Every structure is written in structure tokens, then in C-alpha cells.
Structure 1
């Protein structure tokens, strides 16, 4: 992913927090010479102190599973929020752009055992059911139904061998234009635009 130095995020805690908050990802591999991808939840886990991995699962009917045993490097893309930036918000510049945050993770894939998959599914349900008025846990699923569903999916774990980031947040704009962009994004009422504005302010405050 192309990213000028001033758009790159180097702090792992910031990157990890972004992945956890935007965990609906795009899993990409190469199948029969062509790129193939699946949109799915992928969770960041600390496997051991300082060792992080990505975990998820995929339907066995998905032909991308045929790429799991080849030892290739997988790409997992985490993105959002994003927002259009109008050049009318600048004092002089006339070129509009797009602000966004994206994290690309590269690594090798390992297929999980049934026990590992159940543990991953348990953690996934616990995370997303926590906000429900009537949370459901994996223990609420009958043994027969759970085992039948496990037969239809494959759990995976991906090592984190390389991370590319682009936090494109108007870092190269002067204070007036930067403040104008933040103001217009907030006024839009769009949740993604508001999140971009907050990220812009956070980074500006760090450098001032």
C-alpha cells in the first residue's frame, strides 16, 4: 500500500486498537493465479506476550479455502472510516481528496483445530453479544447443532509478518485548512466523517 511517511502510523497500540474497532475485514489470497477475497470478521488476539495473530473462520463452501494449504502469504485489509474532502473547504487549494484509515496485515495461515475454533467462536460471540439486551453464549447452542455447524466452517489463524498503514488525515495541510476540514466534517452529521474529524484532531494535538 502506498503511504508517504507522514501518513504512516508506527505505534503498535494505535494500530491494534484500530484493528479491534474495525474488525470486519477483507481476506485476500491467490486462487488459480487470480486474487480472491472474502469479507468476514477477523479478530486480533495476543497469543503469547508480545505475539499477536489474527483469527477468523470461513465457510467450507467458499472456494477460497482451497488456498489455505499452499503456504502462501495472505493479506488482511482493515479499513473505515473514510470521508470525502471538498476543495471548497481550503483557502487556496483546488484539488479535492479523500481522508481514510487503512491497515494491511500480511502473514501465513494455519488451520485451527476444532478446539481452537470453538475457543475463537466463543470469544467472538462474547465480544459482540455483550451489548445485547439478551446475550447469547455458545453454551446456549446444543451440542448437535454446534458440531453440525463446525463441520461447515474452517477456523484459521494468521501470523502477523508485516503491517502497512495509511492514516491519511490532512497532515500536510496548514492549520487554517486543517481546522476547516475538521469543522465541515463535524457539520456533515455523517458518523464516519465525524470519526475522521476526531482522528484528525487527535493527531494535530499530538504535534502541536
Structure 2
């Protein structure tokens, strides 16, 4: 049995990579015996490792998850693209409520990056990739404060062994309804979150 249904499975790896690049904050999952370890962290896609490339990041050295990020230990990574509730009122035809989303599931082999210069270089690359302002911050890898970070973090590489795209975007609906659902997803992605943040901060 194929799940999710075939029309909700993304088969173009280019779209998988684009999702990773656009939404780099990932959920990293590992398991030991009956205990699950979960860490949220940004990961950068790197084309140079294995058949599908790898994901590069770093974790606080006091995070207990570190124990399971060693030589070729299996890990799962989830990237979370846009998502939203789709009301039946969205469609031009009679439908039920649903939730549309883009998710990428990655299976990988986890290893540590032991060379400090490679770790700090990966942080500099992440910073330059994520900076979008007109006057972007540039991380000076030789700065003593930047070098001091290396005492508190562990660099990790996740070589991708397999991948799955779960793109539930009303593909089973009429073209007109699919377009209407897409418009709602775009609107929700641009939704003002000021009130929400004001309540929790």
C-alpha cells in the first residue's frame, strides 16, 4: 500500500532540495532503545556527498542528542514547508475540510564534523546563505568570539540515504479548486503574526 497516495508524493528531487533551501529549519530525530531524541536546527544542503548530497549543521555540545550523531548512525530529518487549513468554502465544488502542507522527510547517516575549521566555515556559509538584508552580516571566522563558539557546539553532517516528499496540495481536486486552495495557502503564509507574538512575548 502506497501512503501517502501517489498524487500527494513529490517525485522531483529538485523540488525536495528547493523546499530544504527555502525552509531550512528542520526537525532532527534519532532513537536509542525506546527513547526518542528530537532537535530543531537549521540545516544547509550540500551537493558533494553521496547520491543525494548531505545536510550540514551544528548542535549544542550539551544536547543529549549528540550521543546519537556519530559515525553512520541512522537519523530522520523533517523539513516543514507552508501549511494551512482549507475550508470547504474555499472550493467551487462540494468538499470536506482538510489541511494542505508541504513536508520533506529525509533518511540519513549522521556523522560528526571533527575539523574545527570546517565547522566554523559551515557556520559562515549558513550565515551568508540566510542573510537577506541590504547590508548583510558577514561572520569573520578568525574573530576570537567566533572561534570561542567551537567550545560549545558540535558540527554534524547528515548524508542523505533516501527521501520522500509529502506535498498535499489538493492535487485530487479540479484544476480550479486546486488553484483556489493554492491562493489560500499563499495568503496564510503571508498572515500577520503580530498579535500572536505580542501575546507570548
TM-score tier after normalising by the smaller chain length: 0.7 to 0.9
- Residue 177 of structure 1 is matched in structure 2 by 177
Q: Does the 8 A contact of 1:72 with 1:108 survive in 2? A: yes
Superimposed CA distance per residue, residues 170-198 of structure 1 (whole angstroms, 9 cap, x where no aligned partner)? 01012343344345556xx43258xxxxx
Q: Does the 8 A contact of 2:75 with 2:110 survive in 1? A: yes
Give the deviation of 1:169 after TM superposition: 0.5
- Residue 60 of structure 1 is matched in structure 2 by 61
Q: Does the 8 A contact of 2:10 with 2:167 survive in 1? A: yes
CA RMSD of aligned residues (A): 2.4
Distance 1:11 1:176, change over 3 A: closer
Equivalences for residues 62-141 of structure 1 within 5 A: 62-69=63-70, 71-112=72-113, 113-129=115-131, 131-139=132-140
Q: Tell me, which stretches of 5 or more residues in structure 2 are unaligned?
A: 192-201
- Between Structure 1 and Structure 2, how many residues are aligned? 189
- Residue 194 of structure 2 is matched in structure 1 by none
Equivalences for residues 18-29 of structure 1 within 5 A: 18-29=19-30
Aligned equivalents of 1:152, 1:90: Cα separation in 2: 51
Superimposed CA distance per residue, residues 55-110 of structure 1 (whole angstroms, 9 cap, x where no aligned partner)? 00000111111112374310010012001101223355342000000000001111
Scaled by the length of structure 2, what TM-score is found? 0.83
Q: Whose helix proportion is higher, 1 or 2?
A: 1
Q: Does the 8 A contact of 1:83 with 1:192 survive in 2? A: no
Q: Does the 8 A contact of 1:87 with 1:95 survive in 2? A: yes
Give the deviation of 1:139 after TM superposition: 1.6
**Residues 1:190 and 2:191 are matched in the alignment:** no
Scaled by the length of structure 1, what TM-score is found? 0.80
Aligned equivalents of 1:126, 1:61: Cα separation in 2: 26
